[in-house]
Amino acid sequence: MTAFDIQDWTREQLQAVEHALDQWVTADAPAALGEAMRYAVLDGGKRLRPLLVLASAGACGGDRLLPWMHDAAMRAACAIELIHAYSLVHDDMPCMDNDVLRRGKPTVHVKFGEAGALLAGDALQTLAFELLTPEHSEIPAQVQARLCGLLARGAGHAGMAGGQAIDLASVGGRLSLAQLRRMHRCKTGALLETSVLMGGVAAQADTMASQALLSYGQALGVAFQIVDDILDVTADTAVLGKTVGKDADNNKPTYVSLLGLDGAQKEAALLAEQAQQALAESGLADTQALQALAAWVLQRRH
């Protein structure tokens, strides 16, 4: 067995994810819909959520993953990326954040019009559930149903969409630290948690492993958002690939505005450590990729 190299691992997984997305997000949808969907998803993004799914499946199954488990994990990885992509498309629209730049490119509504962006986002969300329910597949129905259920709960009113609603209601207002945590646990945390859990389901993780993955995902989710808030203050637009300083401009409460830059950095480091701790206590053998992703979340510059 060769030593684990996170860069090799990441390169290999990203290639597989891009290939799968390219294949599954087809251009043959009517009119400009397929083109807009592909524009929103392909060639961009950190792919953190897909990497978490695949790392999590790997941690639970290692070399013992069956072919259908690989297929289920890749479908889960792409499905959650589609949900993430749809949320960005709708978020960027004029009635929400009114952002014109994303990943260094014009946003979808700038390129395809508002109606085109609205529809593309809608269809990306639907496609996520289509990917999880392939016909004539060896993926057991139980796994398909569980993946759909997890994704719906992570993306919906009690997860990502709920977090967006709190965010929307909070503009210009004051949130306490507890309220801010709740908002982010929904808005960003829920999908990151869901990524890790979906990987576990694809690899048929046992209860103990699932519990450890949940703890890891929860800590990682909040750490990610804190770093996001820090980068909104410290990074520049060219590196970040999106407009910086938007939060302060919109008078949105952030971890930085509540804890200060230093306090936010300490909090993120503490959470990353909690995530590593959960892995250490999990009993899982192959957690190197999950460990590396937690370290990356803390150290990322964009």
Q: Is 210 a residue that touches a copy of itself (CB under 8 A)?
A: no
**Binding of a copy of itself at residue 153 (CB under 8 A)?**
yes
Listed in sequence order, the residues at least 6 apart from 215 whose beta carbon sits closer than 8 Å to its beta carbon are 274, 275, 278
| Of the candidate residues 8, 11, 15, 126, the single one contacting a copy of itself (CB under 8 A) | 126
**Residue from the set 48, 69, 132, 198 that interacts with a copy of itself by CB under 8 A:** 132
Q: Is residue 90 a contact point for a copy of itself (CB under 8 A)?
A: yes
C-alpha span between 154 and 49 (Å, rounded) = 12
Nearer to a copy of itself, 55 or 89 (CB): 89
Which residues are 106's β-sheet partners?
101
We find the least distance from the C-beta atom of residue 69 to a copy of itself, in angstroms, to be 16
114 binds a copy of itself (CB under 8 A): yes
Binds a copy of itself by CB under 8 A, chosen from 1, 3, 115, 238: 115
Cα–Cα distances in Å, from 21 out to 26, 40, 44, 215, 269?
9, 11, 11, 29, 33
Answer yes or no whether residue 165 interacts with a copy of itself by CB under 8 A: yes
Number of residues in contact with a copy of itself under rule CB under 8 A: 56
Of 16, 33, 101, 295, the one binding a copy of itself (CB under 8 A) is: 33
- Is residue 107 a contact residue for a copy of itself (CB under 8 A)? no
Closest contact distance (angstroms) between CB of 146 and a copy of itself is 7
Report if residue 198 touches a copy of itself, rule: CB under 8 A: no
**Contact call for residue 177 and a copy of itself (CB under 8 A):** no
Q: Which of 6, 14, 16, 96 binds a copy of itself (CB under 8 A)?
A: 96
13 binds a copy of itself per the rule CB under 8 A:
no
Shortest distance in whole angstroms from residue 51 CB to a copy of itself: 23
Instruction: Assess 162 for contact with a copy of itself (CB under 8 A).
Output: yes
Site membership for a copy of itself, residue 178 (CB under 8 A)? no
Enumerate binding residues for a copy of itself (CB under 8 A): 26, 29-34, 37, 86-87, 90, 93, 95-96, 113-116, 118-119, 121-123, 125-127, 129-130, 132-135, 140-142, 144-146, 148-149, 151-153, 155-158, 161-166, 168-169, 186
